[in-house]
Amino acid sequence: MNQNASTWSPLFKEAVSTDFRDFHECLDQDKRIALYDVAGSQVHAAMLARAGILTERENVDIQAGLNQIAEEMRSGTFAWKKELEDVHMNVESRLTVLVGDAGKKLHTARSRNDQVATDIRLYARAELDALAGELRVLIGAFTDLAELHAETIMPGFTHLQVAQPVTFGHHLMAYVEMFLRDLERVIQARERLNVCPLGAAALAGSGYPIDPDYSAAQLGFAAAFRNSMDTVSDRDYVIDICNAGAVVMGHLSRFSEEVILWCTPMFDFIEVGDQFCTGSSIMPQKRNPDLAELVRGKAARVIGNLAVAITLMKSQPLAFNKDQQESKPPLTDTFETVRAAVTVTAQMIATIKARKDKMLAAADKGHSTATDLADYLVRAGVPFRDAHHAVAAIVGLARDRGLATLAQMPLADMQAIASAIGPEVFDVLTVEGSVASRSHKGGTAPEQVRRAIAEIRELLG
């Protein structure tokens, strides 16, 4: 094999093979955490100076050098060197060029194990904050559309069969509840990861008089680690985040599937803005809601990231193992995919136009007010199971006659099956009456939809 020119230390008699070096390096992933590595290093240097491990002059020089490195990274002029493997060695190498031997002292009382664990937590914390904000925007988009359609009647489905009339606003607010739970999961994941590993070193802590609490406070963590072995080897937070991301994408995928169905001529419930649709290279009439299809497809990848993250950790003995390098790709891909999907879906929602007449007509099909007729009989004193049986017979008769709605059934024919039915029954056989009757907390009546919207807006501030 080809050999490169460098070795780890005099302990190694031969250089690392080029193929192994290429297999080993992770700079593409590490560039995402580079500025967090610099921030952690600045706090570590300040802590070393407070402990008397570095002189004040050395700390000043290191801080200046790290500031320059951060600026080079932001401007894109930082010279990444693949042979240095990772962000940590790239930063240390550049720092040593800038400030001399003081740069070589920065790694005192620190290992790449606690260093990378700190960097990833800082990165993940910032990404979770951004995702939480984007979920709030998404929830706002659903809420705004729901408010426009608090009275728009559509069919509700179970088993994808017409079940009972609901309002489009109520249907949309169901997704708000899903994304509120997602927001809660994101916030909880942030709380669990907000512990600083800096000072745990390789696995056993440090023999120097370090101050992990100081480092934690300076980096905005809620606490410092309690167990050095756990903190350098913990990637539970990666699993937490991948899980939260997978559930978000699952919810987005459910909505995307409905968007795709609703846009078909068979449903024709909604129209999505042109900016989120594509056409066909051969069929001029096609107008495909491709954003929804892409979101549905990307959900599979994010769910796969969860499988990678949780499987990666299942057999690792304490403490750190190089396997954990493989926790970065599912984490970063989850953040990038979920954040993009949440953002673009919120934008798409703002362009949705509902075809109210098509929704209303569909809600009146499939004998969707059958449950209302059963409830009518119960209120007339018929036991529910008997009422259910009688209405099933009426529905069967309506189907045999090709009647689209129960309201088309002659009163005498219904009375022949259930004598408790009176002429006022037709008031409860309309989809408008059905929707209006669900006027309790959480129901689909328009006033309850508006009440739910007000609660959500108050909750999110």
Instruction: Please list the active-site residues.
Output: 159, 280
In the structure encoding, which two tokens stand for residue 427, read together? Answer: 């008031």
CA distance 174 to 170: 7
In the structure encoding, which two tokens stand for residue 106, read together? Answer: 């920065």
CA distance 374 to 390: 8
How many CB atoms within 10 Å of residue 456?
18
CA distance 19 to 17: 5
Residue 366 CB contacts under 8 Å (≥ 6 apart), including other chains: 155, 161, 162
Residue with tokens 């590490």: 30
Contact between 231 and 197 under an 8 Å Cβ cutoff? The reply is yes
Residue with tokens 């570095």: 54
Cα–Cα separations (whole angstroms), residue 386 to 1, 163, 253, 378: 82, 20, 40, 9
Q: What would you report as the CA-atom Rg of the chain, rounded to the nearest whole angstrom?
A: 31
CA distance 219 to 211: 13
